[in-house]
Amino acid sequence: MSDIIVCSFFTDDDYYRTHAKELKENLLGLGIDHELSEISLDPKLDWVDICRRKVPFLHSICSQNPKKKVFWIDIDCRLLEIPDFIYSSSADIIGFQRGFSPPIAIGYRNHSRFWEPCFWGVGTSKNARKMIADAAKAEKESEIKATDDFFFEEGWRANADALTFQIIPSACVVGKQNSRTTHSAFFVFGSSGNVSEYKGKAAQHLNEQRPKWLRKKLLKIGKQTLNRLPKKISRQIIATSDKTGVTHYLLGYKRSGISDGRSQTQRRDITNRILRSGMNGEIELLEDLADDLSTTSIINPNELVTIEAARAFGYYSSRESDRKLKLSWWVRPFPGNFGDWLSPLIVSQYGNCKISFQTPTAPERNTPKHLVSIGSIARFIKGSSLVAGTGIASHEFPISTKAKYFSVRGPITAEFLRTCGGPNIDSFGDPAALISRIVPLKRDKTNGRIALVRHASHDRVPLTLPKNYDELSILVSHPDNVTKFLSELIKYDEVVTSALHVLIACQSYGIPCSLITFEGLENSISGTGLKYMDYSLGVGLKELVPTVVQRDLRRVPLEKIRQTETISESKKDEIEQKLLEAIHSTWDKKAYEKHNH
Tally of domains within the chain: 4
Rounded Cα gap, residues 311 and 313, in angstroms: 5
Exposed, middle or buried: residue 441 (CB in 10 Å: 0-12, 13-18, 19+)? middle
Which CA distances in Å does 487 have to 181, 351, 436, 480, 499? 25, 24, 11, 10, 18
Residue type present at position 4: I
259 and 171 within one domain: no
266 and 142 within one domain: no
Q: How is residue 152 annotated by DSSP?
A: H
H or E element: which one contains 547?
strand 547-549
Domain membership flag for residue 342: no
Domain membership flag for residue 376: no
DSSP 32-85: --EEEEEE---TT--HHHHHHTHHHHHHHHHHH-TTSEEEEE-TT-EES---HH
539 and 469 within one domain: yes
pLDDT at 259 (0 to 100)? 35
546 and 463 within one domain: yes
pLDDT at 102 (0 to 100)? 78
Tell me which residue of 512, 520, 519, 503 sits closest to 563, measured CA to CA: 512
pLDDT at 212 (0 to 100)? 45
Domain membership flag for residue 396: no
149 and 99 within one domain: yes
pLDDT at 263 (0 to 100)? 66
258 and 228 within one domain: no
Rounded Cα gap, residues 487 and 481, in angstroms: 10
Domain membership flag for residue 490: yes
pLDDT at 227 (0 to 100)? 60
Residue 163's domain is classified under what CATH number?
3.90.550.10
pLDDT at 216 (0 to 100)? 58
Domain membership flag for residue 346: no
Rounded Cα gap, residues 243 and 12, in angstroms: 43
Residue 562's domain is classified under what CATH number?
3.40.50
273 and 245 within one domain: no
Domain membership flag for residue 514: yes
What residues does 34 pair with on adjacent strands?
A: 6
**Start-to-end Cα distance in the chain:** 73
Domain membership flag for residue 356: no
Domain membership flag for residue 424: no
Residue type present at position 418: R
- Alpha helix stretches (DSSP H) within 254-363: 264-280, 283-296, 301-317, 338-351
pLDDT at 230 (0 to 100)? 63
242 and 114 within one domain: no
Rounded Cα gap, residues 214 and 172, in angstroms: 29
pLDDT at 592 (0 to 100)? 42
pLDDT at 287 (0 to 100)? 94
Rg (CA), the chain: 26
Which CA distances in Å does 474 have to 267, 342, 468? 27, 12, 19
**Which backbone phi and psi does 252 adopt, to 5 degrees?**
-75, 180
Exposed, middle or buried: residue 495 (CB in 10 Å: 0-12, 13-18, 19+)? buried
pLDDT at 582 (0 to 100)? 96
288 and 242 within one domain: no
Tell me which residue of 394, 349, 395, 386 sits closest to 367, measured CA to CA: 386
Q: How is residue 165 annotated by DSSP?
A: E
305 and 258 within one domain: yes
Dihedral over Cα of 260, 266, 271, 272: its sign? negative
Which of residues 251, 266, 301 is at a domain's end?
251
Range of 235's domain?
A: 214-251
538 and 501 within one domain: yes
Using 70 as the pLDDT threshold, list the residues of the chain that sit under it. Answer: 109, 177-181, 191-264, 296-297, 588-597
277 and 129 within one domain: no
pLDDT at 103 (0 to 100)? 73
Exposed, middle or buried: residue 170 (CB in 10 Å: 0-12, 13-18, 19+)? buried
CB 168 within 8 A of CB 95: yes
Tell me which residue of 436, 466, 437, 438 sits closest to 452, measured CA to CA: 466
CB 326 within 8 A of CB 295: no
